[in-house]
Amino acid sequence: MKVLLLLSVTTMALATSPCPPGAFLSVFKEKCFQPVNLQTDFRNAQKICAMFGGNLASVNNQYDNYLLTYKSSGTFWVGGVLDKGVWKWENGQQMSYTNWAQNEPKNQPNYCVKIIKNEGNPLKSDQKWVSLNCEQWAYFACETKPYYVPLEPNCPEGFECFDGHAYGVFVPSRTWNDAEAHCQSLGGHLASVHSAEEEAFLEYVVGKRFSTAWIGARLPSHGKVPDWSDGSKADFVK
């Protein structure tokens, strides 16, 4: 078992959001994602995104894939399209990351990419990609450039920063109590999770090298809602 360490850092925040209302930043903050609660075919979805200065979303990592699925109203179009036998994004980029379902993609003309959402339990969606006829209807997600590039904190070496905190994954394996004690010795705690965005980021950070990690949740004897080792409120429970 690996140890996930949370340390607090100070960041500066601007008064306005870098994204339009209802949109959110990608993990690397280079674009805003906007899930659209409207169903249409792929080509019309791309036209709607273009009206707002963007394209259908391109998905370049596990974090963005997870969060887009979580935020979407259901199975949805993204900007993947088969172009002369090669899968590309509507913004012109090559696909550097994919999450195809089994037996996918189907390399057929007029086929585009949908991301499947398990609508019965969206938190446990497999987030897999399927290739389907572009004329089918589905929800969709757009991407646009942010209004400004958010300021980044000076992240300590070996850590990754998100929303004012620095996260690191440490070995060797430890018990939960030993892991928390180690984190406290470094001025932090095992990580607490307070939003889908934060959860997706932690899955992204841990998943790059490991399969599991301790976080700071512990189940008290008096109830089913976990306590966090840093004393924060349990306001997001999966």
> 219 versus 101: which is more confidently predicted?
101
Banded pLDDT at 10 (limits 50, 70, 90): very low
Length of the chain: 238
d(CA 221, CA 226) in angstroms, rounded, equals 10
List the domain boundaries for the chain.
2-12+161-228, 31-144
Statement: the pTM of the whole predicted model exceeds 0.75: no
Please answer whether residues 144 and 30 qualify as being in contact, where contact means their C-beta atoms are separated by less than 8 angstroms: no
Lowest mean pLDDT among 46-50, 55-59, 63-67: 63-67
User: Cα 193 to the chain's mean position, in Å?
Assistant: 14
Percent of the chain at pLDDT > 70 equals 84
Over residues 135-152, the pLDDT tens digits come to 999 999 999 999 886 666
Cis peptide bond upstream of 105, omega within 30? yes
Is the confidence at residue 1, as pLDDT, over 50?
no
Please answer whether residues 197 and 67 qualify as being in contact, where contact means their C-beta atoms are separated by less than 8 angstroms: yes
Banded pLDDT at 192 (limits 50, 70, 90): confident
Q: Write the burial class of residue 161 (CB in 10 Å: 0-12 exposed, 13-18 middle, 19+ buried).
A: middle
d(CA 191, CA 153) in angstroms, rounded, equals 18
H/E stretch holding 62 reads helix 62-71
Percent composition of the chain: helix, strand, coil (DSSP 3-state, to 5): 20, 30, 55
Homologous superfamily, domain 31-144 = Mannose-Binding Protein A, subunit A (3.10.100.10)
